[in-house]
Amino acid sequence: MSVDVSEVELVQGCLAGKVACQRLFVERFEGMIFGLCLRMLSRRHDAEDVAQEVFLRAFRNLHRWDGERPLRPWLLTIAANRCRTHLEERGRRPMPADLQADWLPERTRTDSRDDAEEIQRALATLRPEYQQCFVLFYQQELSVEEVAEILDCPEGTVKTWLHRARKEMAEYLRKRGLDPRQELNHQSRDPKSDLN
Amino acid sequence: MTCFDFENRLQEFFDLRQQELPDELSTHIAHCPACREMQERFQQLQIAVEDWRMQSPVVELADAVLRRLRTERNLVTLAAQSTSDGLRSPSYRYSSLTGWMALIAAALALVIAIGIGWRVSSNVSFANRQASLQTQIANAAVNRLEPVSDPAPTGDRQLDVLLHDARDAYAALASQAWQQVSATNVLLPPSDTPNLFGGEGSTDGVSESLSRPLAPLGKELRDAVDSWLQLVFNSQDSST
């Protein structure tokens, strides 16, 4: 099947039970869905489980999807809700210590990766609605308006949540000893100088 | 521009993903160290977030999702088949039978529970009624032992009647003994205690306390039985 098939055709194929369409559907959106789940849940295993569940729910409810609207926000809504539910359930359970830092695959350790890890740790300390907001805005690069539509709340609320999320995360990074001046200086250096 | 205004404008700057800090904000942080520090912290956060966003872990979910989807559809198909097969399905019959059996068992359990409850609730009054009834039987037995104008029974039947009356009288006396025990609040004598009616051979305090009021009654009964037997044998002798 052609990869450039439209969303409507893809959905129609899935509704008709075509396995090839279902596979293409998952492959097209798995990066986006898994990325959101992983950022929100911080655990790869949980993120894979929830992402699979998101696709299963999507397949079950594809007949409800409005073909006039894009598929991506519809899927992100399902994913954000599932992640939030999972986080709330997790909040009622103790968190095993050995599962706290497996959010990224093994790579060479770099300063960049350290920063990413710090952000992920800071994110995990936020309330679920702040996390949803932050991940949708920064990781999925959605606008405030789109985030508000997905979370089904006013734009003002999204702005407030984003602002609080930034403040809390900035405070977390400050307590973790990340010096903004040093970071900014490091960022403003010529990247080529590191190679010499 | 106040610091409050600066913070609001700074958030707007981030919300709109603007690249260059507006001049009025730059002017403010030039002479406000607190706001400058805040802006630097948010800027540093933005840089770290960019690194975080660029991390793109690889994942392949298609196989797992399609497998789960297939399993789910199989289950739905099986459920639909069992529903359409309806009454012909052995599992349905089995479950129906099990349901009826459970219903019958529940009804039986309810009846038994009600019966037990009734027996327990009426136990005290039943015991009292039984005691008075047995007393009446004993009195009747004693009265029947006296020679009356009724024609005397003959042969084995006479003996059966006699023993039956004696047994009733004994039961009535046993009931009276139990009431006596309850009234005097003493323990029942052990099973090897000498007879309750005699009193002669009992050295035990409990049996003495029982045998004393019962002894006359026992003697009276024994005398009545003896006289009745005598009467029966005499009548048999005279008839033969």
| pLDDT tens track for A50-80 | 999 999 999 999 988 888 888 999 999 999 9
Which of B126, B160, B168, B121 lies closest to B143 in space, CA to CA?
B168
Q: In which band, very low, low, confident or very high, does the pLDDT at B217 lie, cut at 50, 70 and 90?
A: low
Summarize pLDDT for B67-90 with one digit per residue, the tens. Answer: 998 888 888 777 777 766 654 545
Which pLDDT score, from 0 to 100, does residue B33 have?
92
* Residue of A22, A162, A181 lying closest to B69 (CB–CB): A22
A36-40, A164-168, B102-106: least confidently modelled range: B102-106
Please judge whether A180 and B40 are an interchain contact, meaning their C-beta atoms are less than 8 angstroms apart. Answer: yes
Q: With contact defined as beta carbons under 8 Å apart, do A166 and B49 qualify?
A: no
Contact B189, B222 (CB under 8 A): no
CA distance A115 to chain B (A): 5
- Ranges A72-81, A128-137, B144-153: which has the least confidence: B144-153
DSSP 8-state code for residue B152: P
For residue B40, the SS3 value is helix
Could you tell me the fold of the domain covering A1-102?
Answer: Rna Polymerase Sigma Factor; Chain: A (1.10.1740)
The CATH fold assigned to A109-189 is: Arc Repressor Mutant, subunit A (1.10.10)
Ranked by mean pLDDT, the top range of A50-59, A173-182, B168-177 is: A50-59
Is any Cβ of chain A less than 8 angstroms from the Cβ of B148?
Answer: no
Report the Cα A68 to chain-centroid distance in Å. 25
Q: Check CB contact under 8 Å for A23 and B66.
A: yes
DSSP symbol at A128: H
CB pair distance less than 8 Å for A120 and B52: yes
CA-closest candidate to residue B135, choices B172, B170, B166 = B172
Q: What is the mean pLDDT of residues B56-62?
A: 81
Among B40, B51, B52, the residue with its CB nearest the CB of A184 is B40
Closest chain B residue to the Cα of A111, Cα to Cα: B51
CB proximity under 8 Å: B 164-223 to A:
none
Q: In which residue ranges of chain A is CATH 1.10.1740.10 found?
A: 1-102
Q: Where in chain A is the domain with CATH 1.10.10.10?
A: 109-189
Percent of chain A at pLDDT above 90? 48
B41 vs A: CB within 8 A: yes
Taking one residue from A and the other from B, the number of pairs with CB-CB distance under 8 angstroms is 109
B53 CB neighbours in chain A (<8 A) are 138-139, 141
Q: Quick one: pLDDT at residue B28?
A: 92
| Nearest Cα residue to A56 out of A79, A90, A80, A83 | A79
Q: How high is the pLDDT of residue B131?
A: 64
Q: Rounded CA gap, A62 and A74, in Å? A: 10
